[in-house]
Amino acid sequence: MNFIFMGYRACGKTTVGRIMAKKLQRPFFDTDHLVQERTGKTIREIVEIRGWEAFREVERAVIAEIAGLDGCIIALGGGAVMDQRNVEKLRRKGFFFWLSADEGTIRERLLKGQASDAQRPPLSGTDASAEIAAVLQEREPGYRRLADKVVDTSQRTVEEIAAEIYDFLKIRNEEKARGS
């Protein structure tokens, strides 16, 4: 079983994913990082040169490769689960954690992490606040539908988030062992 972290930008998917991979002694994959490794370009460069569909095409190929693995921690790009082909591949061996956060927390984190802004293209032609609200409204129903477990990361440290997930998995495994 793979543990898959999905959600909007700046909700902690990569950072929490790395922590969980270390705690659970599992391999970790970040699809955005793999896309950049494969192409030799940042996501922003891919989108600016070839467009969003070109990025999504490489993302689908990366997901198709890692979805067949087992026992991994996978951090997805925010829009990866909007493609049903990705969902079908990941669902076979995947347990989905939706790392969510309120708009204010996301905005605050994005402002703090402006270095990553150079690698991430805007998702719309609007200002950051309007973009966050619009994209969340578009994606949240899909995240909600897929989520096996929702973890609110708003105003929490990555250590607190990882501890909640670890405790959840520990209880889940104990219940499985008891046959509940």
3-state secondary structure the chain: CEEEEECCCCCCHHHHHHHHHHHHCCCEEEHHHHHHHHHCCCHHHHHHHHCHHHHHHHHHHHHHHHHCCCCCEEECCCCHHHCHHHHHHHHCCEEEEEEECCHHHHHHHHHHCHHHHCCCCCCCCCCHHHHHHHHHHHHHHHHHHHCCEEEECCCCCHHHHHHHHHHHHHHHHHHHHHCC
Look at residue 67 in the predicted model and tell me its pLDDT.
96
Q: What is the pLDDT of residues 51-102, one digit of tens each?
A: 999 999 999 999 999 999 999 999 999 999 999 999 999 999 999 999 999 9
Please provide the CATH number assigned to the domain covering 2-178.
Answer: 3.40.50.300
The residue extents of the domains of the chain are: 2-178
Q: When comparing pLDDT for 34 and 124, which is higher? A: 34
Contact 5, 16 (CB under 8 A): yes
- Token pair in block for residue 54: 């070109």
Whether pLDDT at 45 is above 80: yes
Q: Does residue 115 have a pLDDT over 60? A: no
The pTM (predicted TM-score) of the whole model is: 0.91
Q: How confident is the model at residue 163 (pLDDT cuts 50, 70, 90)?
A: very high
Average pLDDT score, the chain: 92
CA–CA gap between residue 69 and residue 82 (Å, rounded): 21
